[in-house]
Chains A and B, each alone.
Chain A
């Protein structure tokens, strides 16, 4: 049972915050479901994207912030591309993710947070992703050194991962992007 008169009022502040930071209007969502239809990761979510939008519409922010969806979203942006009312759904999910992070709500899956940090750090350092160092770093940090190691020969043979980091032409510009987003000189937290 959802007590709407409560949830709508109690959730209003967080919904407004998500709307402000993402620049999206939650109320504009038609509930057509096209985001979910195109989502490649929805099979792993607890709430598919359209449901997440509706939960925000009726003020169930707690569910949204704690949801697996907010953590597992791949940010592939397909939903945002295809939304008929031009809502950046991935942006909304991303914002929910950030707010949950700040509120310390996301301790259920610490590895996810770790991976995300490592990923962004890696991109900031090399200008683009270097899978080998990301995987090594992640395994070191999680203490599971042999995790996925059996895949390494195949990935190397098929040239899916490389031993040496990639080089890009203008690393400084990528770093500046990170600076702009984070407001400080260093790579993401």
Chain B
């Protein structure tokens, strides 16, 4: 008892497919008892017509010839469900995207539509009713990365009463935002707006904060992740440390100051910055004199809280989570190799913008006095160069960094505020300032703060008599230009954070060409990933500014709260199924499964394969790999697929 409904989709289909002829042809197909053409099947009257036909003619299977199943399969499943049928007794036949839209002659297009409908009828005839499964949900969320996006997501989820574990690989939370001096376009002091949120994280009863920690292993699936988190030894007992900084003062081993983008120097045992959360020292063994030469232990002697423990070892915590938010943020493009004409890092006064940000910051290594790295002099002429490692296919990075124009304008404004008789020059390709209040801000850098914008890329930088000569072009003046600069600041593009690729593989989520984590759909699923239960927030998904990161974090949190507010979640029934009677136990299926959805099971007197239904994504790889051919995908069984092929070739 098959019903065939042919959608006209206005003229989308009807213009090139004679839907009446398709209906006539369908009526003669085996098992078809009803066929009709409807102008807009997805509309309310269209759906009602389907429901009426099901109930009046007693249909048991439905073929919907219309748009792509990606568009409306769910709509029609629900409709036939409302009519009392099993929602999975539906076959969507795509006669729009793959037929009417791409062909022109009515006769040929109609013929193809009929072929496709015949194929769908053959398949639905062999369809069995399916029941979606369900699995319980672990009511705890994991947020990976504690920059502004991770902090926001963790707070939002925790405020909804759901326990959160916030994992951060560095010794403090705050991420890149904590390193910024001011923020565009309002020039808010970055730490003034971030620090209260960091403290809130520390104090929140629903947030468990784990710094110096990384996600090591991920098992499980949506609602039921089981995740190993490695807490790296910091040689400091977190509970005892009071953050008095005596150890840092007395420590004889110098170490690079990562927090200050290496603008200053730090010690082997240190607290990255005064507002760090948690305010706890941590020791970097690779720089520590004790671990290098075996003699020192000064910090242990001076620590008034007895918090130093050189024997501390990594610990691995395993916890269950219902959902994961990835908020690993960004790193900066390393320009040195790709831009040899800018000195490859040989000139100390050619620096990236994050380092300049630390020079501008009152809590930075220079206390907010701009001093150029080479000789500590206050610069007068400062050149900013945009699009370093952005919009540059020659270094394989065609994308826009999306924040460079704005932070250059901000830094030019701050420079003028710090040094009133300074002159900033900004080399740009376009000024991209699309956010709210952004263009006005970038314009103010020119009109109120005297920054001179030069349209053109810089060709070369070379030193001459204590200055750096910047050779560029001014395409608006149509001539080459030269500037004798004291300091050159490069607006380097954003890359995924270090280690993001490995994390993406562990979480089984895809990444784009640049290594940023891929969202589920560029428009309609901006925070989801292709793996259920894993969400994205902030610059790990692509270059973003603070407002966008915070907004995305809130959206990801809403998704997590929605997911974890359920006791159980419905899983797709279109999953693989093993005929365990015939399974030989070779486990080729388990090896090819990209989702880890196949496990060994003791059954049938031996080890056989078993599909964890809630984990299976229905990709079908195991079907192909299985030597005896005893795994099949529900709803896509071999005999269904073969029947389709036979009908199309007829």
Contacts and interface: CB of A to CB of B under 8 A. Distances in A.
Contacts of B477: 2, 51, 54-55, 58, 60
Contact of A5 (B381, B443, B446, B480): B381
Interface in B49-82: none
B476 A51 contact: yes
A54 B446 contact: no
Contacts of A28: 443, 446-447
Contacts of B474: 2, 4, 54, 58
A57 to B, nearest CB: 7
Given A1-B479, A1-B480, A57 B485 contact: no
Interface residues of B, number: 22
Contact of A8 (B423, B447, B479): B423
**Residue from B443, B483, B484 having most chain A Cβ neighbours under 10 A:** B483
A1 B446 contact: no
Nearest to B448: A27
A1 B453 CA distance: 17
A12 to B, nearest CB: 9
Interface in A39-90: 51, 54-55, 57-58, 60
Interface string A6-32: 001100000000000000010110110
Q: Is the interface of A mostly helix, strand, loop or mixed?
A: helix
A180 interface: no
Nearest to B439: A30
Interface string B433-455: 00000000001001100101111
B482 interface: yes
Contacts of A58: 452, 454, 474, 477, 481
Contacts of A9: 423
Nearest to A26: B447
B225 interface: no
Interface string B448-485: 00101111000000000000000000101111111111
B425 interface: yes
Contacts of A27: 446-447, 450
Interface string B358-374: 00000000000000000
A150 interface: no
A3 B482 contact: yes
Contacts of A5: 381, 423, 482-485
Nearest to A55: B477
Contacts of B455: 31
A13 to B, nearest CB: 14
13 contacts: A1-B479, A1-B481, A1-B482, A2-B474, A2-B479, A2-B480, A2-B482, A3-B482, A3-B483, A5-B381, A51-B477, A54-B474, A58-B474
